[in-house]
Structure 1
Amino acid sequence: MTTATWLAFSIATLAATGSPGPNAMLVVRNTVRHGLYAALFTVSGNLCSRFVMASGVMLGLSALLNASPWLVIGLRLAGALYLIWLGIRAMRGQGPQAAVTHVTPHVRQPCLRIFLEAATVSLVNPNTLGFFAAAVPQLVDLHTPILPQLATLIAIDTTVVLTVMSTYAFVTHAVHRRITSHSRLMMIRRGGGAALVIVGLTMLPLR
Structure 2
Amino acid sequence: MSIELWVMFALAYLATTLTPGPNVLLVLKNAVQYGWRTTFATVLGNLSCQLIIVCLVALGVGELLSKTPMWFLVMKVLGGAYLIYLGVKALRQKQQGLPIIEHKANGVKKTNRQLFRQSFLVSASNPKTMIFLSAFLPQFLDVTHPHSEQFAVMFLTIAVTVTSVHLAYVWLVIQLGQKVSRGRFEQVMAKVSGSLFITMGGGVLLSSRS
Tell me, yes or no, whether TM beats 0.5: yes
TM-score normalised by the chain length of structure 1? 0.87
Asked whether the 8 Å contact 2:49–2:124 carries over to 1, the reply is: yes
Structure 1's 86 and 149: CA in aligned 2 closer, same or farther, altered over 3 A?
A: same
RMSD, aligned α-carbons: 2.3
Aligned to 1:191: 192
SS of match in other structure, 1:144: coil
TM-score normalised by the chain length of structure 2? 0.86
Instruction: Give percent identity, aligned residues only.
Output: 28
Aligned to 1:179: 180
Q: Whole-Å Cα distance in 1 between the matches of residues 130 and 170 of structure 2?
A: 23
Which segment drifts farther, 194-203 or 112-121? 194-203
Q: Which runs of 5+ in 2 are unaligned?
A: none
Aligned to 1:130: 131
Deviations 1:148-170 (A, max 9, x none): 21221111111111111111111
Q: Whole-Å Cα distance in 1 between the matches of residues 30 and 50 of structure 2?
A: 19
Q: Whole-Å Cα distance in 2 between the matches of residues 111 and 181 of structure 1?
A: 24
Aligned to 1:44: 44
Which segment drifts farther, 161-170 or 67-76? 67-76
| Count of residue correspondences | 203
Which segment drifts farther, 8-17 or 109-118? 8-17
Aligned to 2:70: 70
Structure 1's 181 and 111: CA in aligned 2 closer, same or farther, altered over 3 A?
A: closer
Asked whether the 8 Å contact 2:33–2:186 carries over to 1, the reply is: no
Deviations 1:30-50 (A, max 9, x none): 111111111111111111111
Deviation at 1:181, TM superposition (A): 4.6
Deviations 1:58-83 (A, max 9, x none): 01112321331222232222211111
